[in-house]
Amino acid sequence: METAQLQQQLFKHIKSALPPHISLPDALGELLNLSSDSVYRRIRGEKPLTLGELQTICHHYKLSVDQLLSLNSDSFVFSAPDFDGEKVPFVEVLKGMLKQLQYFNSFGKKEMLYLCKDMPIWQFYLYPELGAFKSFVWAKTIHNDLALAGKGFSLNEHAFEDCNTVGRQMLETYNQIPSVELWNEESINSTISQIKYFKDSGGFASRADLLAVVESFERTLAHLKQQSEKGVKFIPGAPDTQYKAPIYVYVNEIVIGTNTIMVELDSVKLAFLTYNVFNYMHTRNQEFNERVFKGFHTLRSRSALISGTGEKERNRFYNSLLMRVQLLKD
């Protein structure tokens, strides 16, 4: 392929990754400190990019030379937004996730596919008690917040109002994105284990705190059941006029894999893989993403749809989850 064609292909790829409201020439002009005329000459392939400009573009947009030249390789470039960053308060981690969801939502055509080994993180913020508890657990045990060392969970002391606020914003943004989700009974295991551990080890300041968290968990599952029944996303208590995007919930009783998010934005596919519980990395590599999407749809074809239809399977699934959560009160 000629240099001019490769250059045009590069800019076509970058344009597909930009939200619709962002101009490619404006973005490149600011990035490369070039005039509009100079940018347009490069976009049209009339002026070759310098190696320095190519390096700047690849670094900024997380592109690889293999990807640009369409070389066959079993190596793929992933971006991990918070991998090299300094440690920040846990609420800032949530703000990063919110920003990513808002980016998804900025596209006219969008769809999210979610392989739910665990409940999606924003669902924990449907009700403040469960949101506070999960924020406490993540901040203390995964984020290693030294201010929480040696402390038990108390709603009065650890309300995590900032995290609940951002979590609610995440939920409201997610509700505007059509999605297909694969669940099974393992999807709530980690939260049940966390509550049980804190209960058995005396990690709750009082039984009232335990009951408040468990009852919040029950309300969350009840809402998710109602949402699956309607087949559309909404906030608890919202009128029908505020219902948002459609949701298709499937249950796979055999295998669920790891937490994986796939999105398609104006025909561009992205895959997000999680690590360290709530951190993630993502890639735009077309070959890799085609494989991941294909794997998701294979699992989907072997799963039972419980949203909008499948009342018997839906009731059986959510009632089983609720019974397991209710046992935490004993």
| 57 and 108 housed in the same domain | no
- Looking at residue 19, what is its pLDDT? 77
- Looking at residue 69, what is its pLDDT? 59
DSSP, collapsed to helix, strand or coil, labels residue 330 as coil
pTM of the model: 0.79
The most distant pair of C-alpha atoms in the chain lies apart, rounded to whole Å, by 73
- Looking at residue 4, what is its pLDDT? 76
- End of a domain among 40, 69, 98? 69
- Looking at residue 126, what is its pLDDT? 97
| 264 and 155 housed in the same domain | yes
What is the mean predicted confidence (pLDDT) over 108-116? 95
- Looking at residue 13, what is its pLDDT? 75
Question: Confidence class of residue 1 from pLDDT cuts 50, 70 and 90?
Answer: low
| 9 and 43 housed in the same domain | yes
- Looking at residue 36, what is its pLDDT? 86
**Residue 75 domain-assigned (yes or no):** no
pLDDT surpasses 70 at 266: yes
- Looking at residue 152, what is its pLDDT? 93
**Residue 83 domain-assigned (yes or no):** no
**Residue 15 domain-assigned (yes or no):** yes
Token output for 200: 């058995």
- Looking at residue 77, what is its pLDDT? 62
| 109 and 221 housed in the same domain | yes
Using CA atoms, how far apart are residues 276 and 188, in angstroms rounded to an integer?
A: 17
Q: What is the pLDDT of residues 186-209, one digit of tens each?
A: 999 999 999 999 999 999 999 999
List CB contacts of 165: < 8 A, sequence separation 6 or more: none
Question: Confidence class of residue 169 from pLDDT cuts 50, 70 and 90?
Answer: very high
Using CA atoms, how far apart are residues 106 and 53, in angstroms rounded to an integer?
A: 28
| 95 and 60 housed in the same domain | no
- Looking at residue 68, what is its pLDDT? 60
| 35 and 101 housed in the same domain | no
| 18 and 120 housed in the same domain | no
Using CA atoms, how far apart are residues 221 and 217, in angstroms rounded to an integer?
A: 6
Q: Which residue has the higher pLDDT, 64 or 251?
A: 251
137: domain range? 90-329
In degrees to the nearest 10, what's the CA dihedral of 32, 33, 38, 44? 30
| 241 and 300 housed in the same domain | yes
**Residue 77 domain-assigned (yes or no):** no
| 131 and 50 housed in the same domain | no
List the CATH number of the domain containing 13.
1.10.260
Mean of the per-residue pLDDT values of the chain = 89
| 256 and 192 housed in the same domain | yes
**Residue 138 domain-assigned (yes or no):** yes
**Residue 80 domain-assigned (yes or no):** no
Q: What is the pLDDT of residues 9-60, one digit of tens each?
A: 788 778 877 877 788 888 888 888 888 888 888 888 888 888 888 888 887 8
**Residue 297 domain-assigned (yes or no):** yes
Number of domains in the chain: 2
CA angle 216, 220, 225 (to 5 degrees): 150
**Residue 85 domain-assigned (yes or no):** no
- Looking at residue 240, what is its pLDDT? 76
Rg for the chain, CA atoms, rounded: 22
Q: What is the pLDDT of residues 275-324, one digit of tens each?
A: 877 778 888 888 889 999 999 999 999 999 999 988 999 999 999 999 99
Q: What is the pLDDT of residues 72-93, one digit of tens each?
A: 556 566 676 665 566 788 999 8
| 7 and 109 housed in the same domain | no
- Looking at residue 97, what is its pLDDT? 93
Using CA atoms, how far apart are residues 196 and 297, in angstroms rounded to an integer?
A: 34
| 248 and 101 housed in the same domain | yes
